[in-house]
Amino acid sequence: MIREKSTFHRNLRDKYNYPIYTLRLPFTRMYVVNATELIPTLQKQWRTISFTPILASSGTGPMGMSKEAGVILNRDIQSDSNTVAKWSQAVNRALAPGKALDKVNRRAVEVMYDMMGSLRTPLNNSSTEKKTEVQHETVVDFWSWTHHVMVQATTEAVYGPANPFREAAFEEAWNYWEPRYLTFALSPLKSLLAGKTLAVREFMVAAWAKYFQEGGLKHEGASDFARAMYEQMKVDGLSEDDLARAQVGHSFGIIGTTGPAVWWLIYHIFSDPAVLIDVRNELENFVEVDGGDNQYRIDLAAIRTSCPILLSTFKETMRFRSLGTQIRICLEDHVLGDRYLLKKGGIVVIPQTVQHTSVDAWGQNVSKFDHLRFVKGDSGSGKKMNHTAFRAFGGGHTMCPGRHFSATEIIAFAALMVLQFDVAPVGGGRWEEPTWANSPMSSTFHIPDEDFKISIRPRDSRKWRIDFAKGTGDAGAKGMAVIAEDIENS
């Protein structure tokens, strides 16, 4: 498992093709679900086969929350009155399609557009970018730049102007902590075996404590989402220190996906001329002349529901590149589908790589990147696509509450790049698919083994005004059709 990393479960599926199987681990069993048809049945058993204990244990384990917090987090573990369950409900309400979600999406788009300003102007004094006034070319480290922009846009939209990620030292601390999280979580003697990682965690905890103490959430720029995360756990009795530690953990859900997803989406669009033409032509349909002086505008809110090719390319990127695994704990013995006995204390996992590489779900071209796959809506054999097999945002009771926020951010970033710029490897060479064999086991995405430089040039001299208005508020309450549950409710 350690050697094969993200390919481990897929390799076992290919070798044995069991619908579900058991791995014997020290002191427990792991039940690995391969069959897509078992997933809806499993998701209905969210009280007895639960994700809540995973979240509760991560708080008192790698986040270092107090024993008192552990008691609170594990109280009524199978009930809707459990603190973790109530936190999830509060976040779901705060990020449901509507005005509050539109507010964070709008702010994220504003930050992205502003940070791309240096790419549109001829002069730049940044030590990490080179620009010539004649060529109007900017050279950036592809991974570092996209990751930085998405971290800043996301956290600014969520936490407001007091956002700790504004500080370079804090973002650097996060970049150190994130890939080492799993090793740190499994380390038995953290102060001896993972001292630097422990110190980095405590640095971030102190920064979050300062954010709360100095009223960061009271600023109008802070989101309802951020307030909901804080207030629900505070009401249930968590201390200020425990709330700060919880926020370190929450950061994984907030920024763990967007940076890698944007990186791969930009790669797949610009590395394939056919994809670029399709996406660019679709977006140009929404561009409007905005007065004189070469001024144009686009309303990025409209792309959420009116750009099927861009949405399909985004979802195919998620299918092709995401590595996450849905994990649950059996709180009682349960016979799944009237056939498979799952014992109390066992771990149930649904690996995304198994579902996303299923020939039954996606057809014989499953190993090919097909940017129109979700436009076609079938598996290539005339059979209707099984959307349950798309697991990038989970599903059922534990579907990602931030999927509409993240999806809008990601496709908005891509739209801004496609409309404004041409992107290519430095020197005009061919795009080469990067290797990703060293992606951390805790990663939810393929992470490129090495960063590389890209050239970004403005396409033309158009001046842009970016809006985020159409389809917002009550009219936008339907949201994006991202996962099976969204499609069923659309």
Q: Is 400 annotated as a binding residue?
A: yes
How many Å apart are CA 477 and CA 244, to the nearest integer?
A: 32
Pairing of strands 295-299, 463-467: parallel
Q: How deeply is 437 buried, as exposed, middle or buried, from its count of CB atoms within 10 A (0-12, 13-18, 19+)? A: exposed
> Any alpha helices (H) in 17-133, and if so which ranges?
39-43, 52-60, 67-74, 83-94, 99-115, 117-120
Helices (runs of H) and strands (runs of E) counted in the chain = 22, 14
Which tokens sit at 366?
């499953």
Which tokens sit at 225?
């989402």
Which residue(s) pair with 348 in the sheet?
31, 328
> In the 8-state DSSP scheme, what is residue 124?
-
Nearest to 418 by CA among 260, 256, 268, 255: 268
Q: Can you list the pairs that 185-194 forms with residues at least 24 positions away whose Cβ atoms lie under 8 Å?
A: 185/58, 185/61, 185/62
Contact (Cβ atoms closer than 8 angstroms) between residue 313 and residue 375: no
DSSP string computed for 254-307: HHTTHHHHHHHHHHHHHT-HHHHHHHHHHHHTT-EE-SSTTEEEEEGGGHHHH-
Q: Enumerate the known binding-site residues for heme.
A: 400
Q: Enumerate the known binding-site residues.
A: 400
